[in-house]
Amino acid sequence: MKKTKQLFAGLTLLASSQQGAQADYTLNLMEGITKVSNHIYDLHMLILWICVFIGIAVFGTMFYSIFHHRKSKGHKAAQFHENTTVEIIWTIIPTLILVAMAIPATKAVIELDDVQDSEMSIKVTGKQWYWDYQYLDNGIKFESHLDEASEKAHRLANGNPHSVPHYLLNVDKPLVVPVNKKIRFVFTAADVIHSWWVPELGWKKDANPGFINEAWTYVPKAGTYRGQCTELCGRDHGFMPIVVIAMEQPDYDAWVKKTLAKQQEAVDLSDLSREDLMSKGASMYLKNCVACHQINGSGITGTYPALTASLRVTGPIDPLIGFIQAGTSRMPAFSKLKDDELAALITYIRNAPELGNSVGDEIQPKAITPVYDD
């Protein structure tokens, strides 16, 4: 687990070092890096120029008229109020423009739709409020949450978003893909509808619970590409970004090998120091709990219970473990947490001064025997 974290930390660092996207006062759509996104950009520019052209003609006429045909200049009103020829002309010309526009647009729709002949598939699951990725070809599977720096900056009263690189656009574990391969994505969601959008790839696609959707991409250039969830999905909709890192094939292969190796390692059940438990617990809390129970453990009155001074939190440990693992009708089950993660999390919520609890104990991974094991 710790090594996985280091591995991803390296990636995150790589991601944050590429500052490029900070251009302010951006005016236009980005061209993107894929062929599809370039075609979409061209279509966007084409239709934009058509609109500009029509706009100049219409507004030009109107403002000429406003300037010259005014009473204060002594202009006498003409009394015409019909002209069938003119009406026919300004119906036919827009129709022709639209037909001309429909041709390249149709081509692009067909291109977007063509998911076949892909070389690899990634299943993307939208969850409240993070993304879950699963590589269907090699079994790699991980969750991708908003990075801790952004979490803290937007949740803490004294947080400073400006000090965070890629504020709200950075994740703990980015999606890694190889360049020059046709990649097929399969989208679904686990709770409500989400939508997966990386502007540089040129499209977004909804992730619907219970159903699957497809889309594809072909990234020609190594780099880091960022996006966000674009379908309102509840309270933390604004805090579930997407980061895609495209790597050259050898780098990607190495990443797959390392990630798989880490994934197959058994959970390390050896005892941890109090500091390690607390820091790991804090990071688990930020990922899994903070959206509802808040950064100070206060919850939200009437909606989410407070953890501060909660008897369930500070009381006996075994029922607490079972509670967290099984969830309730309001709280999701956290059976996904590994024993060491759960131990750290429980130690943290019972002892964190920022949550206002101080039971004074340490829960070690070995203590999580029971309610169920992996």
Partner 1 sequence: MNRSVSQKNIKLARNLVIVAVAMFGFGYALVPIYDVLCEWKWIERDRPDAIKQAKENAYEVDKNREVTVEFVASLNENTPMVFYAEIQKLKVHPGEYHTVNFHAENKTDKVINARAIHSYSPALVSSFVDTITCFCFDEQLFEPKEAKTLPVRFAVNPDMPPQYKTITLSYTFFDKTENQ
Partner 2 sequence: MSAVVAEHDDHHDDHDHGPAKGILRWIITTNHKDIGTLYLLFALAMFFVGGSMAMIIRAELFEPGMQFVDPQFFNSMTTMHALVMVFGAVMPAFVGLANWMIPMMIGAPDMALPRMNNMSFWLLVAGVLMLASTLFMEGGAPAGGWTLYPPLVLQTGKAFPFAVFSVHLLGISSIMGAINIIATILNMRAPAMTLMKMPLFVWTWLITGFLLIAIMPVFAGAVTMLLTDKFFHTSFFDAAGGGDPVLYQHIFWFFGHPEVYVMILPTFGVASTIIPVFARKPLFGYSSMVYATASIAFLSFIVWAHHMFTVGMPLAGELYFMYATMLIAIPTGVKVFNWTATMWKGSMTFETPMLFSIAFVVLFTLGGFTGLMMSIAPVDFQYHDTYFIVAHFHYTLVPASVFILMAAGYYWLPKWTGHMYNEKIGQLHFWLSTVSVNILFFPQHFLGLAGMPRRIPDYAIQFADWNMISSIGGFIFGASQLLFLYIVIDTIRGGTGEKVTDEVWEDAHKHGLEWTLPSPVPYHTFTTPPAVIPTEHI
Cα separations in angstroms, 135 against 75, 176, 196, 214: 73, 10, 16, 14
Residue 351 near residue 360 (C-beta atoms within 8 A)? yes
Using CB under 8 A as the binding rule, whether residue 180 contacts partner 2 is answered as no
Q: Which amino acid is at 16?
A: S
Using CB under 8 A as the binding rule, whether residue 193 contacts partner 2 is answered as yes
Nearest by Cα to 151 from 141, 133, 164 = 164
- Give the one entry of partner 1, partner 2, none that residue 300 binds, where binding means its C-beta sits below a cut-off of 5 to 8 angstroms depending on kind: partner 2
Structure tokens at 22: 């900070």
In the complex, least distance from residue 373 CB atom to partner 2, rounded to whole angstroms = 28
Using CB under 8 A as the binding rule, whether residue 341 contacts partner 2 is answered as no
Q: Which residues pair with 185 in a beta bridge?
A: 122, 215
**Residues engaged in binding partner 1 (CB under 8 A):** 115-118, 121, 123, 125, 127, 134, 136-137, 139, 184, 186, 188, 190-191, 209-214, 322, 325-329, 332-336, 371-372
Residue 332 near residue 315 (C-beta atoms within 8 A)? no
- Give the one entry of partner 1, partner 2, none that residue 237 binds, where binding means its C-beta sits below a cut-off of 5 to 8 angstroms depending on kind: partner 2
Binding to partner 2 (CB under 8 A) within 220-259 occurs at: 227-239
- Give the one entry of partner 2, partner 1, none that residue 158 binds, where binding means its C-beta sits below a cut-off of 5 to 8 angstroms depending on kind: none
How many residues bind partner 2, per CB under 8 A?
A: 102
Using CB under 8 A as the binding rule, whether residue 370 contacts partner 2 is answered as no
Among 206, 339, 340, 362, the residue binding partner 2 under the rule CB under 8 A is: 206
Using CB under 8 A as the binding rule, whether residue 155 contacts partner 2 is answered as yes
Q: Which residues pair with 206 in a beta bridge?
A: 195
- Give the one entry of partner 1, partner 2, none that residue 262 binds, where binding means its C-beta sits below a cut-off of 5 to 8 angstroms depending on kind: none
Please compute Rg for the chain using Cα positions: 27
- Give the one entry of partner 2, partner 1, none that residue 25 binds, where binding means its C-beta sits below a cut-off of 5 to 8 angstroms depending on kind: partner 2
How big is the CA angle at 194 (ends 219 and 152), to the nearest 5 degrees? 90
Is the Cβ of residue 49 or residue 211 nearer to partner 1 in the bound state? 211
Burial 37-54 (b: 16+ CB within 10 A, else e): bebbbeeeeeeeeeeeee
Is the Cβ of residue 298 or residue 364 nearer to partner 2 in the bound state? 298
- Give the one entry of partner 2, partner 1, none that residue 267 binds, where binding means its C-beta sits below a cut-off of 5 to 8 angstroms depending on kind: none
Is the Cβ of residue 122 or residue 219 nearer to partner 1 in the bound state? 122
Among 10, 38, 113, 309, the residue binding partner 2 under the rule CB under 8 A is: 113
Nearest by Cα to 188 from 115, 125, 130, 121 = 125
CA 175 – CA 225 distance, rounded (Å): 10
Is the Cβ of residue 165 or residue 209 nearer to partner 1 in the bound state? 209
Cα separations in angstroms, 23 against 20, 186, 253, 281: 7, 32, 33, 36
In the complex, least distance from residue 50 CB atom to partner 2, rounded to whole angstroms = 8
Is the Cβ of residue 95 or residue 358 nearer to partner 2 in the bound state? 95
Structure tokens at 320: 């607490």
Structure tokens at 53: 């052209």
Q: Is 225 left (phi over 0), alpha (psi -120 to 50) or beta?
A: beta
- In the shown chain, the binding pattern of residues 19 to 58 toward partner 2, with x for contact by CB under 8 A and - for none, equals --xxxxxxxxxx-----xx-xx--xx--xx--x--xx--x
Is the Cβ of residue 214 or residue 236 nearer to partner 1 in the bound state? 214
Q: Are strands 182-189 and 120-127 parallel, antiparallel or unpaired?
A: parallel
Nearest by Cα to 10 from 241, 176, 253, 228 = 176
Using CB under 8 A as the binding rule, whether residue 331 contacts partner 2 is answered as no
Using CB under 8 A as the binding rule, whether residue 82 contacts partner 2 is answered as yes
In the complex, least distance from residue 154 CB atom to partner 1, rounded to whole angstroms = 24
In the complex, least distance from residue 97 CB atom to partner 2, rounded to whole angstroms = 9
Is the Cβ of residue 50 or residue 190 nearer to partner 1 in the bound state? 190
In the complex, least distance from residue 134 CB atom to partner 2, rounded to whole angstroms = 19
Greatest extent of the chain over all pairs of C-alpha atoms, in Å? 94
